[in-house]
Chains A and B, each alone.
Chain A
């Protein structure tokens, strides 16, 4: 699967950067705290202390954009490693259980499945079902913007 690497275009990048600055309110953008997808989880698959501490805050996280479920979607799935669709691995996409759903501020331009991206958004914890697709998530970054890492 390949998507146009639209995000690598400089003008596109600056638009996203502008959006990011705007999100942080007036004045210079305060650097969002960075965390890792795997650090959101503790042994036994419960949320880590780190996750609880960061809930509700604007944070930055790196990962890969799985191919969007719908082209016009306002959310995508962020995974630790690229969602390579392995012809021999499974008959259906077996989503990792530590995925993060990113709800974007505006219609997104997909990045390539193997481009590392940095997402900034407000961390939301707890199960939620997307009304349009029925997709269930446990962790979300909402009101998010992203750029190639």
Chain B
């Protein structure tokens, strides 16, 4: 290997102390010149990263388990902002803080457009990951030829989900989310509906009810593959309780179901001794992973609390980490393995409200769950994927000094930066949403921009900020993780999970059979 001298005089710019080593070196690892920047910490840390990547050996074994982390709305800008936020929260440097999934060795970019939109919503996005096909916005578990909100016209258009495949292979299947468990992302594991909002029977259109479409909550409790779904933790209790029944946490409010059915009781009945149901921390703590095989937990009427508000929840709620850990404790008892989706469901909601504080605190909760799961699973037999379903219009802008609080005003060289009108601006802004007014941009010089309830400014006035259409990142470790490379369509994620498990290959080899009657099936 020759050392290329870039700039004369060589003696000053390069210390060719390595020349001797060069002469004696053998094999592929050639000696390198010792550059003047050789002791620079940036140089050293990236050189270390090169060594780590050079040492990677692809794991081509069959995966026993797959864990798919989805940060809802956890686009690259949001992830970067969350990294800075967390670093600063820990009283350290923001931008060089390392997020847990940054240690996963393989990555790719994911193109998230849906079949009918440049910008996807969570339904076809999650469906792309769980089925391998792109479909239309607002639709769940159907091919792109189905018709939005039309039950009869969507019959026969179901696509098979990784959850259905795994259950047919006698694996366990779970979903954990801080949003409603009937919301689009977790529902993509098990549901089929021409409208993602058909979460309870009260949401069905007349046509849908007549044509025999079943609401998403019932699809969850009546899931017919294998012995039914194993772990379902999240919010959305009102979709499972009748409109005549008082809610356990908010007794002045009721369930939503018109058919009078209490699906939580139906769940317990279906699974008898191996079933469990919880609605708050206390009942959640009573679920014993050694006994419960089919656990349903619904911690809120609708979405669970934002992480920032969780301590003040009336009934008490576990964190995403606590839910994820318990989910794995239950699922891992199946010797045939499991597929688990873990969704940070409300990163998205914070951004819809232009409330960057709640977006970032929920992102931190999502990252903590990743840390806990990585510490728990064996990457030799478990494929772990971390990705997002779409981005948001959040951006990080200005030229703020490195130690400026990420939620704060842009400061350059210690001074608040001003726009052309002499007004300050925050580092984080949104392209659209409730933070825009039908008036000149407000002067926020005296606003408490660091307050948790502060709404970031945006440009286009909308009641709810929108998703954004740029690519999102995929990170992976474990069996077949090396198949994530380059830029892929989002539905490619399905193929890596499927290949890792050899799922459809095994499915083809298995004898066709009818869905088993749950109560009689034993693992």
Contacts and interface: CB of A to CB of B under 8 A. Distances in A.
Interface of A: 1-2, 5, 8, 36-38, 41-45, 80-82, 84-92, 94, 97-98, 112-115, 127, 129, 136
Main SS of the interface on chain A? loop
A115 B389 CA distance: 31
B464 A87 contact: yes
Contact of A5 (B301, B358, B438): B438
Interface in B351-385: 352-355, 358
A127 to B, nearest CB: 6
B455 A90 contact: no
A82 B434 contact: yes
A136 B252 contact: yes
Nearest to A135: B252
B427 to A, nearest CB: 19
Interface stretch (B218-226, B310-318, B332-340): B310-318
B121 A113 contact: no
B303 A81 contact: no
B353 A82 contact: yes
Q: How big is the B interface, by class? A: 35 or more
A84 B453 contact: no
Nearest to A43: B311
A81 B316 contact: no
Interface of B: 121-122, 180, 184, 196-197, 199, 203, 250, 252-253, 256, 301-303, 309, 311-316, 348-349, 352-355, 358, 433-439, 452-453, 455, 461, 463-465
Given A80-B453, A81-B353, A88-B122, A94 B302 contact: yes
Nearest to B311: A43
Main SS of the interface on chain B? loop
Contact of B313 (A45, A92, A114): A45
Contact of B434 (A41, A90, A97, A113): A113
Given A44-B314, A86-B352, A127-B252, 14 more contacts: A38-B312, A43-B312, A88-B122, A88-B196, A88-B352, A89-B303, A89-B349, A92-B302, A97-B250, A97-B314, A113-B463, A114-B434, A114-B435, A114-B436
Contacts of B461: 2, 114
B434 A45 contact: no
Contact of A84 (B252, B302, B358, B464): B464
Contacts of B316: 44
B438 to A, nearest CB: 7
Contacts of B203: 91
Contacts of A5: 438-439
12 contacts: A1-B463, A2-B438, A8-B439, A38-B309, A38-B453, A42-B312, A43-B312, A81-B455, A84-B352, A84-B463, A84-B464, A97-B314
A89 B314 CA distance: 21
Nearest to A138: B252
A45 B122 contact: no
A45 B184 CA distance: 29
B303 A90 contact: yes
Q: Which of B253, B316, B463: most chain A CB closer than 10 A? A: B463
Contacts of B311: 43
A75 to B, nearest CB: 17
B353 to A, nearest CB: 5
Contacts of B312: 38, 41-45, 98
Contact of B452 (A38, A45, A90, A115): A38
